[in-house]
Amino acid sequence: MRRLWHKYALALFVAAILPLGIATWQIADRGRAEVVDSARALQVAVADSALGTVRARIDNAVSEAKAIGATIALAGVPAEERMRAAQASLIAAKVLTNYSIYTPEGLDIQHMQGAQADASVLGGSVTAPTPLPEVLRAQARERVVAFSELIRRPDGALFLPLTLRIPDAQGGVYAYAWSAVELAPLSDDIADLSERRFARRDFVSIIDGRKRLIAAADAARVGQPFSTGEADLRLGDGDLARDLSLTFEYTHASGEARLGVLVSVPEVGWGIVVEQTRDEVFAAVGRITATALFVGAAFALLALVAGVWAGRRLSAPITAVSEAAGRVAGGDFTVQVPVAGKDEVGQLGRSFNAMTDQLTRTIEQLKETTAAKERMQTELDIASNIQMSMVPKTFPAFPERSEFDVHAALKPAFEVGGDFYDFFLIGDDTLCVCIADVSGKGVPAALFMAVTRTLVKTHARLGSSPDEILERVNDDLARDNDECMFVTVFLGLLDLKTGALTYTNAGHNPSYIKRAGAGGAVERLDKLHGPVVAAMEEVPYASGTAALAPGDTLFLYTDGVNEAMNAQHELFTEERLATLLAKSTWTSSDGATRVVLDDVWRFQGQADQADDVTVVALRYLGAATR
């Protein structure tokens, strides 16, 4: 089972590592963008440097060409002397390799060779056509200096041709000059620049408007197309003759992924390409990411250690409470937990200790209460046994007598109750039968019942009538009845020879006689002969009579029968009892009580018993034959 401090530690670790991971990702992502931007900026700066180098060489070539042209056009100087001066200037030139002079009509006048030119210059393809084409003269007239398409010497060297208009003193055309600038030194210049900035010589190159390399570190590539593979530069005619700057990515022929920029040189229609390998550009990102990951891992380890420490520290009080709760569940109610601090955890510990203290006291009180209840229950059980021993409970009660059959049953609602019944012989020919219900329930009713039963039995054996017996019992009970208790009583005397029944009903339920003949009719004895017993002294009672034929049954009961209640709070009622007696048959008094009680319990169902239930059935069988 995962312990609480594990969860705390994990939560703290996640809380620490999640923002760290986000920050690391953001640093790497921002670093990537910044590195790319930085690389682009560096490439643009290198392109600007290369642009300066190109423009310096072009400017030098133009300056040298103009200087030579100015010497040729000097007024007042013999032509031969001017040509020698021009030749000397060409020899001293650092950029130009040759110089051809044409008349305004384009006719060839003079070819001159610079010191850096070899013998093939005059006889090779660098030499201008004869005569000078009108297109070159038109360009010179418009721009003074005009550049033409590159030309290649037989040995493979590339040159940039230029045409110069040499003005006369009146501003007209004195002559035209045609010259060429060798590009090999330019390749060396940009290769040196690439090596200085990138430690590699092949990261800077120059292309013309047809995307041909005209300057590169690898001389073998000069003149070949500059291809960027799938990301091929989409340059239209004349794009490099205007200001242009663009970025691109492609896979080099060597397999390297490269990033680059292209900056145009509008005056000559060239483009300067500066590129770097992707690996080199993002090496810094890798270093930044590695550093961030290292720092993140160190911080994560620190967060884990801190999380474990904090988790143990935070969960220690709760763990202590949990373990203590386990001991309480095992029955140890004396356990206490250490309490520190005034926060919620500390309050939890104090509450737990207060709970165990209260539990200990409660259990001790419960033990005492349980012991007292057990003693009381024992006493109630003894009282119940004593009470039940006071009423006849052995059946058949008079097996030697053939005149009658009697049976009774009593079920208290509690351990002891206030109902009782009794039957006993007075002499040989009279049977006294009695049923009573004391007000209230429990022990007080049981005590009052015991006194009442004793008085009834005592006064009945003196040979009086039922009304006289109850008058004496009433006076005895009412005399010292401080609790104002009372009892309802049905008392009858049956002459066993004749079946004559003399009875007195003192506030009790009606009784029933189930006739054996005439279809089993039921006769209700509902007349009251006086109030309840023990209410007040000197109360007169009367009596009534009834005749029992052989086979007739006298049925007595307490209000626990007719007031029995089911789960729907419906009463059993006297009408239901009368109907039951009328439709039922039995051959013994035991059968009569069983029929009634079975129907009462069936009606009551799962509902609690609300009152004591007592029934008595006396079946007269006729006079005995002696």
| pLDDT for the residue numbered 253 | 76
| pLDDT for the residue numbered 91 | 83
| pLDDT for the residue numbered 122 | 31
**3-class state of residue 176 by DSSP:** strand
349 pLDDT exceeds 70? yes
Amino acid in the structure at residue 569? H
Q: Tell me how far apart the alpha carbons of residues 111 and 90 are, in angstroms, rounded to a whole number.
A: 11
Summarize pLDDT for 197-245 with one digit per residue, the tens.
Answer: 888 888 898 888 778 888 888 877 787 887 765 456 677 777 888 888 8
Cβ contacts of 241 within 8 Å, gap of 6 or more: 209, 264, 266, 269
Q: Tell me how far apart the alpha carbons of residues 183 and 620 are, in angstroms, rounded to a whole number.
A: 153
Q: Model confidence at 531, in pLDDT bands (50, 70, 90)?
A: very high
Q: Model confidence at 310, in pLDDT bands (50, 70, 90)?
A: low
Q: What is the mean pLDDT of residues 551-576?
A: 95
60 pLDDT exceeds 70? yes
- Number of alpha carbons in the 13 Å side-chain half-sphere of residue 106: 15
Q: Tell me how far apart the alpha carbons of residues 353 and 98 are, in angstroms, rounded to a whole number.
A: 110
Asked if residue 351 belongs to a domain, the reply is no
464 pLDDT exceeds 80? yes
Phi, psi angle pair for 598, to nearest 5°: -60, -40
Q: E-strand spans in 341-470?
A: 404-411, 419-426, 430-438
Can you state the percent helix, strand and coil of the chain, rounding each to 5?
A: 45, 25, 30
Same domain, 88 and 209: no
534 pLDDT exceeds 80? yes
Q: Are 176 and 165 in contact (CB under 8 A)?
A: yes
290 pLDDT exceeds 80? no
Asked if residue 499 belongs to a domain, the reply is yes
| pLDDT for the residue numbered 607 | 93
Amino acid in the structure at residue 316? A
Same domain, 142 and 261: no
Higher-confidence position of 289 and 554: 554
Same domain, 137 and 205: no
Same domain, 224 and 165: no
Q: Mean pLDDT score of the chain, rounded to an integer? A: 82
Overall number of domains in the chain: 3
Asked if residue 97 belongs to a domain, the reply is yes
Same domain, 189 and 114: no
| pLDDT for the residue numbered 26 | 62
Same domain, 548 and 580: yes
Q: Tell me how far apart the alpha carbons of residues 556 and 274 are, in angstroms, rounded to a whole number.
A: 126
Same domain, 599 and 524: yes
Same domain, 481 and 508: yes
Give the domain CATH number at 481.
3.60.40.10
State which residues form the domain around 202. Answer: 185-281
Same domain, 453 and 548: yes
Asked if residue 564 belongs to a domain, the reply is yes
120 pLDDT exceeds 50? no
Asked if residue 448 belongs to a domain, the reply is yes
Report CA dihedral (377, 381, 382, 386) to the nearest 10 degrees: 140
Summarize pLDDT for 83-104 with one digit per residue, the tens.
Answer: 888 888 888 888 887 788 888 8
Give the domain CATH number at 200.
3.30.450.20
Report the range out of 272-281, 308-317, 603-612, 614-623 with the highest average pLDDT.
614-623
Lowest mean pLDDT among 304-308, 462-466, 467-471: 304-308
Asked if residue 348 belongs to a domain, the reply is no
Higher-confidence position of 122 and 558: 558
Q: Are 225 and 209 in contact (CB under 8 A)?
A: no
Lowest mean pLDDT among 251-260, 288-297, 596-605: 288-297
Q: pTM score, two decimals?
A: 0.48
Asked if residue 294 belongs to a domain, the reply is no
Q: Of 9, 31, 24, which Cα lies nearest the Cα of 295?
A: 24
Fill in the DSSP letter of residue 33.
H
Same domain, 229 and 165: no
Report the range out of 119-123, 274-278, 541-545 with the highest average pLDDT.
541-545
Q: What is the mean pLDDT of residues 491-497?
A: 96
Q: What is the mean pLDDT of residues 465-474?
A: 95
| Last residue of one domain, picked from the residues 281, 316, 331 | 281
Summarize pLDDT for 26-40 with one digit per residue, the tens.
Answer: 666 666 777 778 888
| pLDDT for the residue numbered 340 | 67
- Percent pLDDT > 70 in the chain is 84
Token output for 365: 């009180």
Q: Tell me how far apart the alpha carbons of residues 176 and 105 are, in angstroms, rounded to a whole number.
A: 9
Asked if residue 367 belongs to a domain, the reply is no
Tell me the DSSP string of 589-617: HHHHHHHHHHHHHHHHTTSPP-S-EEEEE
Same domain, 401 and 511: yes
How big is the chain, counted in residues?
626
Same domain, 409 and 545: yes
